[in-house]
């Protein structure tokens, strides 16, 4: 069970991105469950790999959309890169409780400070194209 529930106000209006953002909440929920169950060794590496792949794929999808829709926001791209740098710093060979907690913190930061804030600026831009 994730700490946040998806709400319509979180949508950016592009179905592919909205599905990915929902997926982010799902992965955060998985992380929370693993931490609660204390079953780190079995699932930690798999979740870290999934999370890592997911974030890279998601940022690429988003940045491709920026180009497609003529959206320019260097601060947004810089934030993606900062998050990737934090992800790179995690020791993937020894993903213990500490590592999973760091990953959970990063996931929550990504959702609360980026997805529902910075990504919404892109959503506003897309809406302005329609009017
Ligand atoms: Fe996003
Ligand atoms: Fe983003």
**Residue-wise pLDDT tens digits, 10-44:** 999 889 999 999 999 999 998 898 888 887 776 77
Determine how many CB atoms are found less than 10 A away from the CB of residue 34: 20
What pLDDT was estimated at residue 49? 87
Q: Please answer whether residues 80 and 106 qualify as being in contact, where contact means their C-beta atoms are separated by less than 8 angstroms.
A: no
The alpha carbon of 30 and the centre of ligand 1 are apart by a number of angstroms equal to 19
What pLDDT was estimated at residue 44? 77
What pLDDT was estimated at residue 35? 87
Closest ligand, as measured to the CA of 79? 2
The alpha carbon of 36 and the centre of ligand 2 are apart by a number of angstroms equal to 28
Closest ligand, as measured to the CA of 83? 2
The alpha carbon of 60 and the centre of ligand 2 are apart by a number of angstroms equal to 9
The alpha carbon of 108 and the centre of ligand 2 are apart by a number of angstroms equal to 14
Give the class (CATH, top level) of 15-126.
mainly alpha
Low-confidence stretches of the chain (pLDDT beneath 70): 1, 42
Torsion angle of C-alpha atoms 101, 96, 36, 89, degrees rounded to 10: 20
Output the pTM of the full model: 0.90
The alpha carbon of 58 and the centre of ligand 1 are apart by a number of angstroms equal to 7
């Amino acid at each position: 069970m994730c700490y946040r529930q998806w709400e319509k106000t979180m949508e950016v209006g592009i179905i592919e991105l909205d599905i990915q953002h929902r997926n982010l909440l799902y992965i955060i929920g998985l992380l929370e469950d693993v931490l609660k169950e204390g079953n780190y060794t079995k699932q930690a590496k798999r979740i870290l790999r999934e999370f890592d792949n997911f974030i890279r794929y998601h940022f690429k999808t988003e940045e491709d959309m920026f180009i497609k829709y003529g959206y320019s926001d260097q601060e947004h791209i810089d934030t993606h890169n900062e998050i990737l740098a934090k992800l790179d710093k995690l020791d993937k060979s020894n993903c213990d409780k500490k590592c999973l907690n760091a990953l959970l913190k990063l996931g929550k930061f990504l959702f609360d400070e980026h997805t529902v804030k910075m990504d919404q600026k892109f959503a506003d831009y897309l809406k302005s194209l329609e009017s």
